[in-house]
Structure 1
Amino acid sequence: MATSVIRFQPITGPANATPQWGVLFDRRIAVLPIQAATTGEFVRHALPQARAATRAQATLSLDEVRLLSPVTSNQQFICQGVNYASHVRESGLDPKNFPFNTIFTKASSCITGPSDDVIRPRHVHLLDYEIELGLVLSEDLTGAREIKADRLHEVLAGLTIVNDVSARDVQLPQGQFYKGKSYRTFGPVGPSLLLLEPHEWALWPNLRMKLTVNGSERQNDLCGSMLFKPHQTLSELSALQDLHAGDLIATGTPAGCAARAPGKLPMFLAKHFISDATKWKLFVRKGLNDPMYLQPNDVMELSIRTDDGRLDLGLQRNKVVPA
């Protein structure tokens, strides 16, 4: 049975209180007697203790704590782009033209908690959301390794919810994914790190991602619709760079984002008759009147779970506030 791990601080304690780890049973927490300063330390040393926790040990109410991201800010934050055909198409592109895995990074300092405010910088006007399934490594990968689809449990500890918040008026006109996606608070993660048992990893394609803004559904798709699956991405990344226990990989988002292509005719005209500078000025100008983009006081709610409830990563809820 999957184990729902959370990282938290008591509400009544000082703001700099040492974060604690626990296992969630409904709305009560079994506090784990460990001191792990990072997610890497936790997954290296505390997984057996977490899996051994019982409902009888859950004596702390969820209402008494502030949930933190289960992924600490020292870990690498690696992302996949255009990893769902539906998102490729809404971006005005053809999935056939993407026979490769698109990889980029976000600054780990953008990681924030599952109920913390997302701060919109003053110069950002086209703020967008992206629900993504997050993979958390259980061990270091410091050399090329081929990961089999049925052996994910050998290298992954669990799953979590990621919101890849994006400043489209920075990311797209400037062609800078890192810059447009790395402002502080642009990476809500959690609420839980769901530890899966070996046989449960076969269920990941059945996880359904849903994102709403102010109660209105924007995104809804199955994780199994990914173009490049977790075992493929892990294999490719291990041949490219070192990965470490506790590192986070966000696996891309499906259709439903605010940013999308304007249509075939405008795309054709922009490509052949308009300069890049003019094209992006028009893009931003149009976006300013698009209600899909996030505004101050908007509330995003994200969930990832199987339709039968067998796996449930919890509910992430973040409010947008102005800087």
Structure 2
Amino acid sequence: MQFGSRVAPLPVQANTTADLLTHHWDELWSIGESRATLPCAELTLLSPVTPNQQFMCQGINYRSHIIESGMRVEDFPFNTIFTKASSCMTAADAPVVRPPHVQLLDYEIELGLVLRREVPPHTSVQPDDLGRWLAGVTIVNDLSARDIQLPQGQFYKGKSYRGFGPVGPGLVLLTADEWKRWPELHMRLSVNGQLRQDAYCAEMVHWPAATLTELSGLQDLQAGDLIATGTPAGCAARAPGKAVMFAMRHFMSDATKWRLFARKGASNPAYLQPGDRILASIRTDDGAIDLGEQTTAIVAP
């Protein structure tokens, strides 16, 4: 448990996030600041979600991102769900290698929800009961190779390279009252000091309770599993103008369309390059709930 610049050790045996949350929930809440004896600066932080857990994601779940992608919010009444490989999870301050064949590497700051316990099939989760099913929140950067994801229609491949899922720095456990404030969480992401994404979680189209309800009717959900809830506007990838979109849809083959997409993207300086540094944070404006900061460096192979 972290208190300011120091960490309080938890004297338990837990090899996974599920083990910790399932068997040591009360101990997590019982640790006081007086036991924080380890300086954070002397520790190597890992992802707070272990790679045995499921890594589920919501796509196009922010109104501003839908619009910047050239689509209309009313055309997406459904919840878009996909997965990332759990092996792509990495620490909040770990460098990320841009694969040699990837040229259009994009960033997506997202609020991560971590399950507290198993959710039985077909559970109806109520908005005021999130703390029963969720342990806490964390920062996720859904790094994405757009030149794989979009031309190939491969969300999983484009988003699952090793390192493409920085998580953390910590898992912030929330009380019942704090869960009511999740819409106030303010997400910011900058690249090389330039602010790129800046939005509140209240902008989500499909909120956590509805998403948990839908997922429980679809698949098994276990303690420690991670759900990334989508990203707001500000990504490097943008839709072309309406006239260009019309021409691409009606007069171009798919091969030509994606060839032009790649050519246009190559001249877009917003895509991540080796040497770029990303800073991502999520907190309420009053600082009462603070998920910390991610500091990710993009490096060459």
If the length of structure 2 is used for normalisation, what is the TM-score? 0.99
Task: Indicate the residue corresponding to 1:293 in structure 2.
Answer: 271
1:198 deviates by 1.2
Q: How big is the shift at 1:142? A: 3.4
1:206 aligns with 2:184: yes
What residue number does 1:16 align with? Answer: none
Q: Please state if 1:180 is matched with 2:180.
A: no
Q: Offset of 1:122 from its aligned partner?
A: 0.3
- What amino acid maps onto 1:35 in structure 2? Q
Aligned to 1:246: 224
The runs of 4+ residues in structure 1 deviating greater than 3 Å are none
Query: Which of 196, 221, 238 pairs up with 1:218?
Result: 196
Which structure 1 residue ranges, 5 or more long, are not aligned? 1-22
Aligned amino acid, residue 226 of structure 1: M
Q: Does 1:263 align with 2:241?
A: yes
What is the percentage of aligned positions where both structures have the same residue?
59
CA offset digits 1:98-138 (Å, max 9, x no partner): 00000000000000000001110000000000000000001
Secondary structure of 1:67's match?
A: coil
Name the structure with the higher strand share: 1
Q: Which residue of the partner structure matches residue 144 of structure 2?
A: 166
Report 1:54-65 matches (<5 A): 54-65=32-43
Q: Which residue in 1 is equivalent to 2:97?
A: 119
Separation in structure 2 between the aligned mates of residue 188 and residue 46 of structure 1, nearest angstrom: 25
For residues 16-69 of structure 1, give each alpha carbon's deviation from its aligned partner in whole angstroms, at most 9, with x where no partner exists. Answer: xxxxxxx11100110110121100001111221121111111111001101110
Instruction: Note if contact 1:142-1:241 (Cα within 8 Å) is conserved in structure 2.
Output: no
Report if the CA contact (8 A) 1:143-1:242 is conserved: yes
Bigger Cα displacement from structure 2, 118-127 vs 138-147: 138-147
**Offset of residue 310 of structure 1:** 0.7
Instruction: Report the Cα distance in structure 2 between the residues aligned to 1:183 and 1:176, rounded to whole angstroms.
Output: 12
Matches within 5 A, 1:116-155: 116-155=94-133
In the alignment, which residue of structure 1 is the partner of 2:66? 88
Taking the aligned partners of 2:87 and 2:51, their CA distance within structure 1 comes to 6
SS at match of 2:286: coil
Residue 191 of structure 1 contacts residue 316 of structure 1 at CA under 8 Å; is this kept in 2?
yes
- Give yes or no for the alignment of 1:313 onto 2:291: yes
Whether the aligned pair in 2 keeps the contact of 1:29 and 1:59 (CA below 8 Å) is yes
Cα deviation, residue 306, structure 1: 0.1
Q: TM-score, normalised by structure 1?
A: 0.92
Secondary structure, in 3 states, of the residue corresponding to 1:217?
A: strand
Whether the 8 Å CA contact 1:90–1:261 is kept in 2: the answer is: yes
Corresponding position of 2:45 = 67
Matches within 5 A, 1:14-33: 23-33=1-11
Corresponding residue to 1:193 among 171, 183, 187: 171
Of the three residues 16, 19, 22, the one matched with 1:44 is 22
- RMSD between superposed Cα atoms in Å: 0.6
Partners in 1 of 2:221 and 2:198 — Cα distance?
Answer: 30
For residues 55 and 179 of structure 1, what CA distance do their matches in structure 2 show?
42
> Aligned residue for 1:284?
262
